[in-house]
Structure 1
Amino acid sequence: MSSYTARPWLGRYNDGLPADIHTDYPTMLELFAASVARAPQTAAIRYFDGVLTLADLDRASGALAAGLAAHGFAPGDRLAVYTQNNPAFVIGLLGAWKAGGAAVAINPMNKARELTYLLADSGATALLCLDELYESVARDVIAHADGVRVHTVITCSPLDWQTRNDPRLFAQTVKTHPDKTLDLLELLDQHADGAPPAAPPPGPDDVAVLTYTSGTTGVPKGAMNTHRNMSFNSQTYREWMRMTPADSVLGVAPLFHITGLIGHIGVALLVPSPLVLAHRFEPGVVLDTVREHRPTFTVGAITVFIALTQVPGVTKSDFESFRLVYSGGAPIAPSVTDRFEALTGHYIHNCYGLTETNSPSHAVPAGVHAPVDPASGALSVGVPVFNTVVRILSDTGEEVPVGEIGEIATCGPQVVPGYWNKPDATATSLPGGELRTGDVGFMDADGWFYLVDRKKDMINAAGYKVWPREVEDVLYGHPDVLEAAVVGIPDAYRGESVRAYVSLRPDAEVTAAELIEYCKGQMAAYKYPRSIEFLDELPKTTTGKILRRELRDRAAAG
């Protein structure tokens, strides 16, 4: 049967890794405190030309906790954090925990309707946000929306903690102090000498961060990421990626996303290693940040790495500082990893996980090239990480034999205990504590796992199953294709037919008909795309994942 734990497998490929990591998981605050005690003057955050040491971060988060308490924040309350990749996000997390509460991670692209739902559902009583987001979105939500309980608003600016003010990001940015808000820097100064509140310290099973699912199949659900969950997978990154204080972490994933929370903040605070931030992902700015700060490790969406290789003037030397590069969040075509390795000298290691697994449940061991399934051409997403059991299940919930396709179900210390105030959704998605991921995949005889697709994205073409991922992988093999996404569209004859959306590399001249012929030569007749539409850029989430949902809506609109 295709259930699997990582322990017996690791020695074959990763000599020296522990078979287990701590079974007595500390809280994130305890991990941070240990790092501060060990190396207080180590750089914790590098943000353009600004640097915060671990001691600076400890003082700032303590001052924030004191300021929150002075304005009515009580143990058990939630602080919503609504900002980009800047020091305020990290200070907000630590400050909420020191005040005895939890954080709510909010996508800075969210508008009024989305922000209203998240604030009301989480019950957040305080909000830390960019001044520009308060002016444009949050002010009206807090003043007028039903169910929103926020009584304290703290604003920050992307110009805080740095003086460079890169015009590619900040040409129109002016720091403001909106009425009825507290300025973060002023608040930290006011409480610089104050001790954090005497709040009960969080326990391992207390909620550390509420992270909201995308809501693609209903309203967003708040995954309850506990301190135990987060500290476990922060340690997973440290051990699996063999990270030491000599490393530094490039923060290309949004910090509100689970990859940013664990694969950037968590592991950087744990090791400790500097976390290099650049506000948001602008390829030219991030490449200049790499050139300046020379990070050694990163993990991000594959579209991030594609974009970096397209920056004018990029060379292989720009990537020389990296020791390891990982990608998660979306499947990767083997041709993309091959092309990236040829351009940069670095192999992209796959990892796989969900919001509900606190980032990785599977990963490719460091220094190992993942196998490609000979039948489907899919690149493996890795093997289960420490202490993790993964099963492949049929539609009836039974384990399927090795090599057969089914739903991926994951159980381990990184899996959340449930969704905030949603017991029915918890019972459905996490029966007995095992996460039913909604992703379809299989395990081979050597224990490698392969992600086929999301169950809901499967295309039924004349009774045949077509997984978009397989068609996309073929398209990525064409030298003129930069990005590709495949969806099913209504077809009076077949029920559904396959449509591809493609963005091309600069100066490419391939036609839709030529791409269709290219696909026809590499896959069964029912799989190849019947139509192809070219777009300058495919729609993406802030984490870089291509939005098939928007492409289906585009097709439906004609």
Structure 2
Amino acid sequence: MLGSAYDERPWLALYDGDVPAAIEPRMGTLLELFAAARRDQPDRVAITYFDGRLSYRELDELSDGLACHLVEQGVGPGDRVALYLQNVPQFAIALLAGWKAGAIVVPLNPMYRSRELTKILADARPAAVVSSEQGWHDVLGELAGPAGVRVAITTSELDLQTRHDPRLFAKLERRPAAGCADLLAVARAHAGRRPPEVELSSSDVALLVYTSGTSGVPKGATNTHGNVVFNAEGMRIRVEKLGGNGIFGLAPLFHITGLVCELGAALALGRQLDLVYRFEPGVVLDALAEHRPCYMVGPSTAYMALMNHPDVTADHFSSLELVYSGGAPLPSAVVEDFRARYGHYIRNGYGLTETTATATSVPAHLEAPVLAESGTLGGCRCAQSFRTGMQVGADREADTLITSLSAIAKPHGAMPPDERCTARAGRMVESPARAGRRFREPPGRRYGPGISRVRAGEDVKTPCCASKTRGASYMDTRRPREVAVVDVPDSYRGETVKAYVSLSAGASATTEELVAHCKRQLAAYKYPRSIEILDELPKTATGKILRRELRDTARAAAR
């Protein structure tokens, strides 16, 4: 139970006058909110993509057509449709189409390679995948069949625009894949048709979004339509009174932040969403100047990269009325420098995949800190219970309890948790519907044993103990006997990844070979840029690797 201070909700006094004490979603699903926007303003721009535009009418028609194709191929309620796409309009088309078919959408990080994708596909068991052509040829094509995928659809990032900016697309060409349907072709082939009506409720699962979890294995969060609508409506309340054209897609849509706080918010608002494929500082600056959005959210590293671009000026950000950051630590120096140079205060937000993006954030009219223990923007409460003798940062460790209608009821449980992390993994329980759901986050810094912190806003996971790394290590090679991965300071990313390795008897390897192996096996944000080979990793008397000692050593060397 939350304490009496939370029952009294003293943070409500800090709310702006037109922000309600509690969010009351107008509808049960984002599909319903989208349908209302399409009905009220069908010709308004829904998505910009370089020089391309999709209206709400066109987005509806294309997603209808794709949904018809999915249904014809046997995809229906409860099936999973995986999306292996960057920030392209086809992501929104496929998301809506999957829901119109009654399916659960599974966003996949397009940086994932075979190691990560194999595990997630085996867990999610998608009936259909929608992939970029390049992603299909590079990795997904060889994994889809063994994973039981029945329907394969590909699309090109070059579609729905003609600009083809060489900073992003210089090496990209259309590569239709044998045995795969083309997304736009099948959507247009069903023009004028609507898929059969499906009954979706707020309690139905809308998304299966994979997080790094606390055990070193991705866990699928079962975000319901009600979860998505709750936070999308929260974003609507925050943004609807702003002027400007709409929302800039700085965060990736395959992450819960971009999916809900950008795409979900845009559809709930009936505003436009500006997409630029993937983050490239010069391209982002050009798009900001061209589309003049009023709202933007992204990781602190993105803001640092934009600030360091040689062509950046205050005018690039002049249309923005709200700027938020999340997903990575936000250094105060960045906040103050950004404000001094461009006149905007970057407000911080905190959330989880399990809370369907934002759980708490700085109100739009205030600056942090607001109230140390409370959430903001009605309907979500956060409490911390501090525990003696444990540490968070340099001080104390805490359990965080989040009560909100955005919190998932339960995780997707097919992937077994690592037993060593279970005690620190927290727990999730359902509470009465009116009170929302409670999610208990892991204590301390959210990372259990063997979990490094964040590299460029991404969680990085590793095996938890020496016994787990023998013969099947983080590097997936027999040469390392033991591996420990730690976070170290990085002047650009905030934190990056370093690995310590001891080799098996008689084995030999160079650090360059191990780094190259990791680069082939893991997503770019995960593989360690630095590896140090030791004769023996430090351990406790019971044989546990002393990662804290290694981390302290690495941080001291980085100073």
TM-score in terms of structure 1 length: 0.76
Matching of residues 368-517 of structure 1 within 5 Å: 368-371=366-369, 383-394=375-386, 405-422=397-414, 429-432=427-430, 433-438=437-442, 440=444, 453-456=445-448, 500-503=488-491
Report the equivalent of 2:266: 268
How far apart, in 1, do the equivalents of 2:450 and 2:114 lie?
32
User: 1:384 offset after TM fit, Å?
Assistant: 3.6
Cα deviations across residues 290-325 of structure 1 (Å, max 9, x unaligned)?
Answer: 111111101110111111011112111111010110
Verify the 8 A CA contact 2:85 2:132 in the aligned structure 1. yes
- Give the residue type in structure 2 aligned to 1:108: P
Gaps of 5+ in 2: 389-394, 431-436, 460-483, 494-517, 538-553, 555-559
Is this contact kept in 1: 2:31–2:99, CA < 8 A?
A: yes
Tell me which residue corresponds to 1:111: 113
Write the letter of the residue equivalent to 2:183: L
Q: Is the 8 A contact 1:360 1:385 kept in 2?
A: no
**Residue pair 2:373, 2:382 contacting (<8 A) in 1 also:** no
Q: Contact 1:3/1:392 (CA < 8 Å) preserved in 2?
A: no
Alpha-carbon deviation of 1:149?
1.5
Q: Note if 1:128 corresponds to 2:120.
A: no
Structure-2 change in CA distance of 1:273 and 1:554 (3 Å):
farther
Q: After TM superposition, give the deviation of residue 213 of structure 1 in Å.
A: 0.6
Distance 1:555 1:248 in 2: 50
What is the distance in 2 between the residues matched to 1:438 and 1:10? 27
Change (3 A) 1:161 1:555: farther
Matches within 5 A, 1:353-364: 353-364=351-362
- Alpha-carbon distance in 2 for matches of 1:191, 1:228: 30
Aligned to 2:314: 316
Q: Once the 2 structures are TM-superposed, how far is the Cα of residue 335 of structure 1 from its aligned partner?
A: 1.8
Equivalenced residues, count: 466
Q: Which residue of 1 aligns with 2:168?
A: 169
- In 2, are the aligned partners of 1:248 and 1:273 still within 8 Å (CA)? yes
1:78–1:123 CA contact under 8 A, matched in 2: yes
Letter of the structure 2 residue corresponding to residue 417 of structure 1: A
Which deviates more from structure 2 when the two are superposed, residues 53-62 or residues 68-77? 68-77
Give the structure 1 partner of residue 192 of structure 2: 193
Is the CA contact 1:3–1:389 (under 8 Å) kept in the aligned structure 2? no
- Match of 1:438, as an amino acid? P
Q: 2:34, 2:26 → 1: CA distance?
A: 16
Distance 1:457 1:296, change over 3 A: farther
For the 8 Å contact 2:410–2:429, the answer to whether it is kept is no
1:53–1:499: structure 2 CA closer, same or farther, 3 Å change rule?
closer
Aligned residue among 58, 64, 67 for 1:65: 67
Q: Which amino acid aligns with 2:363?
A: P
RMSD: 3.6
Letter in 2 for 1:420: H
Alpha carbons 2:232, 2:265 under 8 Å: kept: yes
Matched, 1:17 2:19: yes
> What does the per-residue CA deviation read over 1:105-147, in whole Å, with 9 as the maximum and x for residues that have no partner?
000011112222222211201000000111110111123x3xx
Distance 1:546 1:118, change over 3 A: closer
Kindly state the Cα deviation for residue 7 of structure 1 after the two structures are TM-superposed: 5.0
Q: How many angstroms apart in 1 are the aligned matches of 2:386 and 2:320?
A: 41
- Aligned partners of 2:426 and 2:442 also within 8 Å: no
Q: Which residue of 2 aligns with 1:41?
A: 43
Post-superposition Cα deviations, 1:58-78, rounded to whole Å, max 9, x if no partner, equal 001100100111112122211
Q: Does the Cα contact within 8 Å between 1:5 and 1:387 map onto a contact in 2?
A: no
Encode CA deviations 1:447-503: one digit per residue, 9 max, x unaligned. xxxxxx3354899xxxxxxx999xx9xxxxxxxxx99x9xxxxxxxxxx9x995333
**Amino acid of the structure 1 residue aligned with 2:166:** P
Give the 3 Å change call, closer, same or farther, for CA 214–455 of structure 1 in structure 2.
closer
Task: Tell me which amino acid in the other structure corresponds to 1:195.
Answer: R
Among 319, 324, 327, the alignment partner of 1:326 is: 324
Q: How far apart in 2 are the matches of 1:90 and 1:504?
A: 31
Q: Provide, for residues 73-118 of structure 1, a one-character-per-residue CA deviation record: whole Å limited to 9, x for no partner.
A: 1222111000100001001110001011111000001111222222
Distance in 2 (CA, whole Å) between partners of 1:68 and 1:6 is 49
Q: CA deviation at 1:55?
A: 0.5
* Structure 1 residue 429: Cα displacement: 2.5
CA distance in 2, matches of 1:219, 1:384: 31
Matched residues in 2 for 1:221 and 1:553: separation?
A: 27
SS of residue in 1 equivalent to 2:175:
coil
8 Å contact kept, 2:363–2:377: no
1:151 aligns with 2:159: no
Q: Report SS of the residue matched to 1:4.
A: helix
- 1:307 and 2:311 aligned: no
Give the corresponding residue for 2:85.
83
* SS of equivalent to 2:186: helix
Whole-Å separation in 2 of the counterparts to 1:546 and 1:111: 12
Q: Distance in 2 between matches of 1:267 and 1:330?
A: 21
Mean CA deviation greater in 236-245 or 277-286? 236-245
Aligned-pair identity (%): 39
